[in-house]
Amino acid sequence: MRARELVYSRKPQAALREYRSALDAVEKSEGPEAARIRAQALRGAADVYWLELHDVPKAVSVYRELVAQMPDAPRRACARIRAASGPSDFSTASSAERYSRRAACGLRE
């Protein structure tokens, strides 16, 4: 996805537009390829909100959308961890708890 390149180039808003375009392209599509694209776009958008824009409430909302729309998505467990942690819980968690949650999702500090 081109969106990842935009994230690495420090252009999170442009990355979000790419993820939205990908979601729009598969909106009415069925099948495994559409499901894969949908899961990647939702996960990518949520990660941009979470990690790049530090908009935790929006990130949690998108992670919850991922879990609702894609119950069999490969990264479902990570999305559930993040959605369950919510904005206030994450901000009040100890450093060790935050590190543990990030590590469970394959993220580095």
Q: Hey, where are the domains in the chain?
A: 2-104
pLDDT tens, 18-74?
999 999 999 989 888 998 899 899 989 988 998 899 888 888 888 888 877 876 665
What's the average model confidence in pLDDT over 76-81? Answer: 59
What's the average model confidence in pLDDT over 92-107? Answer: 54
- Is residue 37 within 8 A of residue 78, CB to CB? The reply is no
pLDDT reading at 108 higher than 50: no
Instruction: Give 28's contacts (C-beta < 8 A, 6+ positions apart).
Output: none
Tokens of 93: 């968690």
CA separation for the pair 103, 41 (Å, rounded): 21
CATH second-level architecture of 2-104? Alpha Horseshoe (1.25)
pLDDT reading at 16 higher than 60: yes
CA separation for the pair 4, 16 (Å, rounded): 10
What's the average model confidence in pLDDT over 8-19? Answer: 95
pLDDT at 100: 54
